[in-house]
Amino acid sequence: MDYEKQFADAVQKIRHEGRYRVFADLQREAGNFPRALNRQDGDNARPVTVWCSNDYLGMGQNEDVLAAMHSALDTYGAGSGGTRNIAGTTHAHVQLEAELAELHAKEKALLFTSGYVANEATLSVLSRLLPDAVIFSDSLNHASMIAGIRHGGAERYIFRHNDLEHLEELLKQHPRERAKVIAFESVYSMDGDVGSISEICDLADEYGAITYLDEVHAVGLYGEQGGGISERDDVRDRVTIIQGTLAKAFGLMGGYITGSSAMVDAVRSFASGFIFTTSLPPVVAAGALASVRYVRAHNDLRVRHQERAQRLKTSLGARGLPVMPSVTHIVPVLVGDPVRCKQVTDVLLNDHGIYIQPINYPTVPKGTERLRITPSPVHSDRIMDDLVDALSLVWDQLDLQRVA
Ligand code: PLP
C-alpha cells in the first residue's frame, strides 16, 4: 500500500470540490479585538478585521478575565497536574462548577476539557447508565452529539430538524416505561434558528423522556444573566441536562454539563472522557470563573450584542445581499457554491483586510455554502459599514445574485 498516496488522494478529492480548508494564521491582539494580524505571509503581517470569531462578546480580552488569569498563573502555576480524580481538582475548578450550576439554576455542574468532549462523553455514557435506552436526536445536532450518541450504542432515531410532529411520531413507537433521551440544541449555529425547548419538554413529559440541551451558542448571550435560551424562555427547570461551553461567549475554553446531583455524580463516575484525561489548567478555570461572573452581571453586553447583529442584518438586507433568516446573533449570508464562497472570502481578505472563513459541506449541506458573520459588541458602526461596502463590491465583482 502506498500510504502517502492514499493520504494525498483523500485531500485531493476535497480540493477538487473546493472544500480544502486553509487556516488563517492570526495573531490576536488583546485590547484591540476584532482587529488582528494575519501572519499567513510570514514576516509580512497584515492587519485584518475578524468577522467570524465565536468570541461573541470579546471576553477573550476582558480585563477582569486577564487579571484573574495572571493571578492564577502566579498562584497555581501552569498545568493542573492530573486527572480530576488524581490531583487535578483545584479550588478554581470547584468554584467554577459551583458558579455554572448557579448560572443554570441546577444542583450541580461538571467540567470537561471542551464542549465537544462534554457532549461526546455525556451522551455516550447515558446509554450505559440507562439500560435499553432509546435516543432521539435532532437532524442538525452538532458532530460531537452525534459522536456521543453513536459511541454509546443505544438504539437511536433522528427526527427532522425541530419537527415536533416527527419527534412525537417516533416517541410514540416505544413503551412509556422504556428510557428515552431527547437530544437537541437551543441556538443552531450555522442558521441562527432556535430549538423549540418548551414544546420538546412537553413531549418529554408526555412520553416519559429526559431532555439533553446543547446551549453552546447561547450561554452568556441570552437570558437576564446569560443562562441561555432556557433562561430567557424560563424553562431551565424543565430541561434535564443543560450543556455549554466556556469557549465562545465566555472567551476561553472548556465545556460543561449541569443538572441534578444524582445525574452529575453518575456521569462523573462513569464517563470515560471525563475520567481519563488531565483536567483544564487552573489558569483557564480561574479565567472562566471571572468571565462567567462578569457576563452574568453585565446584561448591557447582551443588549449591545443583539443590537449589533440586528444593525448588520438590516444593512446587508438594504443592499440586497442574501442574509439567511436568523432570529439570533448569527448572520449567515448565502453564496450557495463552495468555490465561489472561497473566492468571496479570498477577495475580502486580500483586497479589504476582512477575515471571514467560508462555511462549506459537511458543516452545512451542499448548495448552501455561506459566510457566517458574527458581530460582537466591539464591532463599531464604522467597521460594520466597511464590511457592508466591501461585500457589496465583491458581490458585483463576482457577479453574485442579490435579493429584491
Ligand atoms: N456544540 C455545538 C453546537 C458547537 O457548535 C460546538 C463547537 O462549535 C460544540 C458543541 C463544541 O464546543 P467546544 O468548541 O467548546 O468544543
pLDDT tens-digit series, residues 299-334: 999 999 999 999 999 999 999 999 999 999 999 999
Q: How far is CA 333 from CA 97, 130, 131, 191, 395, in A?
A: 37, 42, 44, 10, 11
Q: Which of 191, 216, 217, 363 maximizes ligand 1 atoms within 8 Å of its Cβ, making it the mutation to test the pocket?
A: 216
Q: Whose CA is nearest to atom 15 of ligand 1?
A: 115
Of 106, 108, 180, 248, catalytic: 248
Summarize the confidence of residues 363-368 as an average pLDDT: 94
Residue 186 Cα to ligand 1 middle (Å): 12
Cβ of residue 116 lying under 6 Å from some atom of ligand 1:
yes
Q: Whose CA is nearest to atom 14 of ligand 1?
A: 115
Q: Which of 212, 215, 217, 245 maximizes ligand 1 atoms within 8 Å of its Cβ, making it the mutation to test the pocket?
A: 245
Residue 267 Cα to ligand 1 middle (Å): 19
Residue 216 Cα to ligand 1 middle (Å): 6
Residues 6+ apart with CB under 8 A from 6: none
Structure confidence at residue 355 (pLDDT):
97
Please indicate whether residue 172 is annotated as part of the active site. Answer: no
Cβ of residue 245 lying under 6 Å from some atom of ligand 1:
yes
Q: Is the pLDDT of residue 41 over 90?
A: no
- Smallest Cα–Cα separation from 330: which of 191, 227, 135, 212? 191
Residue 341 Cα to ligand 1 middle (Å): 23
Ligand 1 atom nearest to CA at 188:
3
CA distance 341 to 261: 47
Percent of the chain whose pLDDT exceeds 70: 100
Structure confidence at residue 236 (pLDDT):
98
Cβ of residue 214 lying under 6 Å from some atom of ligand 1:
yes
Q: Whose CA is nearest to atom 12 of ligand 1?
A: 115
Residue 143 Cα to ligand 1 middle (Å): 8
Q: How confident is the model at residue 1 (pLDDT cuts 50, 70, 90)?
A: very high
Q: Whose CA is nearest to atom 3 of ligand 1?
A: 142
Cβ of residue 159 lying under 6 Å from some atom of ligand 1:
no
Cβ of residue 188 lying under 6 Å from some atom of ligand 1:
no
DSSP string computed for 323-384:
BPP-SSS-EEEE---HHHHHHHHHHHHHHH-EE--EE-TTTS-TT--EEEE---TT--HHHH
Summarize the confidence of residues 34-60 as an average pLDDT: 94
**Of the candidate ranges 118-127, 279-288, 355-364, the one whose mean pLDDT is the lowest:** 355-364
Q: Is the pLDDT of residue 42 over 90?
A: no
CA distance 236 to 260: 12
Q: How confident is the model at residue 398 (pLDDT cuts 50, 70, 90)?
A: very high
Cell of 363: 458543516
Residue 399 Cα to ligand 1 middle (Å): 34
Structure confidence at residue 44 (pLDDT):
86
Cβ of residue 187 lying under 6 Å from some atom of ligand 1:
no
Q: Hey, which residues does 65 pair with through a beta bridge? A: none
Residue 24 Cα to ligand 1 middle (Å): 20
Residue 173 Cα to ligand 1 middle (Å): 31
Tell me the pLDDT tens digit for each residue of 166-183: 999 999 999 999 999 999
Cβ of residue 119 lying under 6 Å from some atom of ligand 1:
yes
Q: Is the pLDDT of residue 392 over 90?
A: yes
Cell of 40: 499567513
Q: How confident is the model at residue 404 (pLDDT cuts 50, 70, 90)?
A: confident
Summarize the confidence of residues 16-33 as an average pLDDT: 91
Tell me the pLDDT tens digit for each residue of 194-223: 999 999 999 999 999 999 999 999 999 999
Ligand 1 atom nearest to CA at 117:
16
Q: Which of 139, 144, 191, 329 maximizes ligand 1 atoms within 8 Å of its Cβ, making it the mutation to test the pocket?
A: 144
Summarize the confidence of residues 376-380 as an average pLDDT: 98
